[in-house]
Structure 1
Amino acid sequence: MKARFHLPDFAGHFKFNLVFCELLAKHPEWFREGVEIASFYGVFPPSLWNGGRTQSGYCDKSFVRGVINAFNERGIPLRFTFTNPMLEKKHLSDEFCNMVMHLADNGLNEAIVFSPLLEEYIRQYYPKYKLTSSTCKRITDAEQLYSEVGKDYHIVVIDYDLNHDMETLNKIPDKKKCELLVNACCNPECPNRSEHYRAIGQQQIIYANHVRKYRDTPLNMERIERENPGIMRFNDCPCIGRSLFEIKKLRNHISPDEIWETYIPMGFEQFKIEGRTKDVFSLMEHYLYYMAKPECRDEARFELLGWLEENEVISVNE
């Protein structure tokens, strides 16, 4: 039995995720049966190809190399969220994204794709990368989903509106190839989700281009929007700030017990925890809720908090 978890933000939560890896390695008895870290996903800002969540900041080459090595030495792939739906051919030559791809081009690391243009580019120039079909594609038709699973992808992330559509899920031909997003914060059947992905993608391109020219100058999105009246607007959706306790109430939520009692017996083993924009404490609760045994969560949390303070990820004695 395997429960392979894909966890968020190898860059922004670099130290936190390293400490969590050590906790899992040192105390496997605190965790549910079969728990593995399948990958850490995200991007190194300011990746123009990024999608799904706007990612700000700047990572230099030495940091990129250090993060890649730190996780790859543990046998854990990085999976790049290159799911920007607004990419054009001119964006494929982006210097920063290609630098990252070159540094991580060792046969272990992966990329999540949305744009057919970028997918073709990666297949041609970086053939060692395993590719994941993104949930951003919003494939909710059963036959289209089965067709997607049959294509040359390492993993297909299922649209979370299908999380409890057991009739559709049962008929998937290769369930081990499919990944379920278990803690989606978005409203079920949200009519604006695809529009939000496009707006975020456009903002990521604007941000990456700005940082390339003016690294130390904050981006003024209000001015950008005034000067470009056709630009799509995306003010952070209130759903993004939902806590774990609010997310549990959504009908597309998959609980830990459902993972082990329903989905794993069905043949699924890939599970994604979202949280690239969450703080450390919220992320810790999501990790322990899904992966730790209920009776061990308090002890695991106490130990993890101590290690996080030792590694200067948090400070609890100020």
Structure 2
Amino acid sequence: MAAQMPNGQAALHSLWPDARWNISALFTHDQITFHALAALKERFDCRPAVDAIHGSLPVLWNSGRAARKARPIDPALVKKRLEAFNGVGSGVYYTFSNHLLGQEDLTDEACNRLLDAIDNDTGLNGVIVASDLLFDHIRKEHPALKLTASIIKATVENGKGDVDYYRKQAERFDSVMVHSDDGFNLDLLDQLDREKMEILVNENCVRNCTVREKHYALLASEQRTGGKSQPEGCLMPLTELDGKNLSCNMTDEEFKSVYDMGFRRFKLQGGGDMAWQYLYDFSRYLLEPTLVAPVFFKYIVAVQSAYLARDARAKLQAARAARAAKAKQDPPAS
């Protein structure tokens, strides 16, 4: 029987205590992530090793997940997120992983402004890319930014299962994201660079998905056309739960096998998930599983719910005040 809650290093997941994380939450769940990290430090004297947080605004170079709501880029928002995460030693990475870019797309004003925003002297920030054109552009214009090869790149270039492919990418990139299916291929992983490979632990797609490449193409095209991004035949368990297909979520045993091989860089996806789904995986994979994770998950969800309720009330009150002010200005119809 436990006498007290684990604290410090003991509050992290004991099977992979030295795991380092690149978390998919920028511009989606970044505020709750920052609050979660602050709460862990305050309540458990614990700081998970979050090397970076990644994501994108709905711009042309984005891909990997749908970003449909076109809106002006708010420089103040980008600066605020950058300062918050860089201030605690975490990098900010853009998922500029659209693999269908042409030479003419490299001059996109919004995307280049975003690059300017994270190109500072911290050495923490970078970009996840799938296009060699974009790789060359960023290396030339922003040599201080780190570059990561996307899972999309390995998919569309038929790199899955190919040791030589990964080794070649590792020569060019600062880090390389391993194809989701290859995260379960221990024979292949055993031949790869432990320092440069980054392994995704909780992808929602089914293992050995037959429409993965088509899905990526639709997502990339959507940034330009706003069209459909879900391919026919998608078996993702979040939408098609049939009780048969395995997702790419790693079990504890699978994760531990990879960790014991010497890999320490891991990716937690969640940018396209609802906040509760994301927080579940954050708690499951980063924290001590029997005492800390359940309590922390319930706590942080309650905090998020209260925040959303307070925000909704504020918006409702503002709308009512606006209607009342308008009613005073507009004379009644005769």
TM-score category (smaller protein): 0.7 to 0.9
Please report how far the alpha carbon of residue 265 of structure 1 lies from its aligned counterpart in structure 2 after TM superposition.
1.9
Residue 47 of structure 1 pairs with residue 59 of structure 2: yes
Residue segments in structure 1 that go unaligned for 5+ positions in a row: 208-220, 222-232
* Equivalent residue, structure 2, for 1:37: 50
The whole-number CA distance in structure 1 between the counterparts of 2:36 and 2:180 is 26
Alpha carbons of structure 1 residues 249 and 175: separation in structure 2 relative to 1, 3 Å: farther
Q: 2:39 aligns with which of 4, 23, 43?
A: 23
Secondary structure at 2:143 match in 1: coil
Pair 315,288 (structure 1): closer, same or farther in 2 beyond 3 Å: farther
| Alignment partner of 1:262 out of 253, 257, 260 | 257
Return the offset for 1:158.
0.5
User: In structure 2, which of residues 257, 278, 297 is the aligned counterpart of residue 301 of structure 1?
Assistant: 297
RMSD of aligned Cα (Å): 2.7
Letter in 2 for 1:56: R
> Match of 1:235?
230
Q: What residue in structure 2 maps to residue 4 of structure 1?
A: 20
- Asked whether 1:202 is paired with 2:218, we answer no
Aligned to 1:217: none
Q: Tell me which of 272, 277, 288 is aligned to 1:277.
A: 272
Q: How many percent of aligned residue pairs carry the same amino acid?
A: 25
Alignment of 1:1-318 (within 5 A): 2-28=18-44, 35-44=48-57, 46-57=58-69, 58=71, 59-106=73-120, 107-137=123-153, 138=155, 139-172=159-192, 174-207=193-226, 221=227, 233-235=228-230, 239=235, 242=238, 250=246, 252-259=248-255, 261-295=256-290, 296-309=292-305, 312-313=307-308
Max Rg structure: 2
- Does the Cα contact within 8 Å between 1:55 and 1:204 map onto a contact in 2? yes
Q: What letter corresponds to residue 50 of structure 1 in structure 2?
A: N
> Cα offset for 1:307?
3.4
Q: Which has the higher contact order (CA 8 A, sep 6+)?
A: 1
Deviation at 1:23, TM superposition (A): 2.3
CA distance in 2, matches of 1:93, 1:164: 39
Bigger CA drift: 102-111 or 146-155? 146-155
- 2:62 and 2:97 in contact (8 A); partners too: yes
Opposite residue 97 of structure 2, the aligned amino acid is T
Shift, 1:171, TM fit: 1.4
Contact 1:5 1:272 in 2 (8 A): yes
> Cα deviation per residue 1:240-298 (whole Å; 9 max; x = unaligned)?
5628x999962643124543x32222110111111211111111111111111112222
Aligned residue for 1:75, secondary structure, equals coil
TM-score of the pair, normalised by structure 1 = 0.81
SS of the residue corresponding to residue 151 of structure 1 reads helix
Q: Can you give the 5+ residue segments of structure 2 that lack an aligned partner in the other structure?
A: 1-16, 314-334
Shift of 1:315: 6.3
For normalisation by structure 2, the TM-score amounts to 0.77
Q: Are the counterparts in 2 of residues 158 and 180 from structure 1 also a CA contact under 8 Å?
A: yes
Distance in 2 (CA, whole Å) between partners of 1:184 and 1:77 is 21
User: Whole-Å Cα distance in 2 between the matches of residues 273 and 314 of structure 1?
Assistant: 27
Task: Quote how far apart the aligned CAs of 1:306 are.
Answer: 4.1
Cα contact 1:148–1:156 (8 A) shared by 2: no
